[in-house]
Amino acid sequence: MTTNPLCPACHGKTTFLAGESREALDRVWNLARCVACGTSFTFPKPDDATLQEVYRSCFSYEWYRDHYAAKKRDACQRLEEYRSVLGKHVLDFGGGVGYFSEVARAAGYDSTTYDPFTTAVAAAPASWDTVVALHVLEHANDLDRICRQMKAFLVPGGRLLLAVPNFSGRGYREVGMQWVWAQPPLIHLFHFTAVGLRALLTRHGFVDIQVSYHERWDANNHCDVTHARLYRISGALWGMPLLRRIPAYRRLIAMGNSRLRFHGLRRSLARPPANRAEYSELQVTATLPRT
């Protein structure tokens, strides 16, 4: 019999969600949910070697290359939203291809991308005014380790900015684990709530924790809840067997789908819900105390 794990975010008790077990890499992964903070997560916890195997075998870096223009446009939108939080020195933690730091450098910030798994040279510790981690935490297998890593880069008084899929939003509630940003069991290991992230960051000594909710081009309620079927079909055109071997075809589909999705994002924002917690992205900022 499997013993229920404690919640890695708030250390609360958990239950297993019936019907949410999935098979991947020749074993079964369960989905546990915290009774206290609502955070859900893959259990058992995959180790580092398993995750490296996941990214080697199942993750499409090609998709990111083909959607470069859209990702860069998203990074520009984020930079505008984040200006009041950003200091001069900005570390883009786990930033993959590096869209955000590229856009930030062009706007005059001293910014670099650092990924603990892929960057050969470590960024300087305790020297960054702001650490941003955009859609990084949900991929991590050890929340305490990643919090310690991010914290070690900040100067005293520095700010941490996290963005993750919002487990309390309409997407998860109405589309479930088929929602575009759910990606269980091994791409996204965590499905976060604001209560869970608050508990996690408080435990790691952060203060002044602020929560906000957002819509994005690659996940919003217009595209991924109201018209989810339509956008899922248009998204699947990019990965069509045989055709996906033709780079020009892929790039054309990526361009068309990106335009459609930015249009969908505007539609979604034009009709805001009564409660912004319905939105797709959960964002949290927190300060590292000076003492």
Q: Binding residue for Zn ion (CB under 5 A) from 10, 91, 160, 200?
A: 10
CB-nearer residue toward Zn ion: 36 or 175: 36
Q: Which of 29, 32, 33, 34 binds Zn ion (CB under 5 A)?
A: 34
Whole-number minimum distance, CB 116 to Zn ion, in Å? 24
Q: Which positions ≥6 away from 193 have C-beta within 8 Å?
A: 37, 38, 39, 166, 167, 168, 282
Q: How far is the CB of 39 from Zn ion (least distance, A)?
A: 5
Whole-angstrom CA distances from 40 to 14, 79, 265, 280 are 9, 29, 26, 16
Q: Is 12 in the site for Zn ion (CB under 5 A)?
A: yes
Residue 157 Cβ vs Zn ion, minimum distance, rounded to whole Å = 28
Q: How far is the CB of 184 from Zn ion (least distance, A)?
A: 18
7 lies in the binding site for Zn ion (CB under 5 A): yes
Find the angle CA(94)-CA(95)-CA(97) to the nearest 5 degrees. Answer: 130
Helix, strand, coil % (nearest 5) of the chain? 40, 25, 35
Tokens of 66: 């083909």
Q: How far is the CB of 33 from Zn ion (least distance, A)?
A: 9
Question: Nearer Cβ to Zn ion, position 165 or 196?
Answer: 196
Evaluate whether 122 touches 144 at the Cβ level (below 8 Å): no
Residue with smaller CB distance to Zn ion, 40 or 287: 40
Contacts of 215 (CB under 8 A, 6+ apart): 221, 265, 268, 269, 279, 280, 281
Q: Which of residues 192-221 bind Zn ion (CB under 5 A)?
A: 196
9 binds Zn ion (CB under 5 A): yes
Identify which of residues 9 and 90 has a Cβ nearer to Zn ion in the complex: 9
CB of residue 8 to Zn ion, shortest distance in Å:
8
- Contact range with Zn ion by CB under 5 A, out of 26-34, 45-53, 182-190, 209-217: 26-34
**Residue 90 binds Zn ion, judged by CB under 5 A:** no
- Please give the backbone phi and psi of residue 13, each rounded to the nearest 5 degrees, phi first: -75, 155
Number of residues that bind Zn ion (CB under 5 A): 9
By the 8 A CB rule, do 289 and 152 touch?
A: no
- Alpha-carbon distance values, 146 to 41, 115, 151, 217, 229 (Å): 16, 11, 8, 27, 35
Shorter beta-carbon distance to Zn ion: residue 5 or 12: 12
Here the tokens at position 200 are 């996690």
CB of 55 to Zn ion, least distance (A): 26
The one-letter amino acid code at 98 reads G
- Residue with Cβ nearer Zn ion (7 or 90): 7
List residues near Zn ion by CB under 5 A: 7, 9-10, 12, 34, 36-37, 39, 196
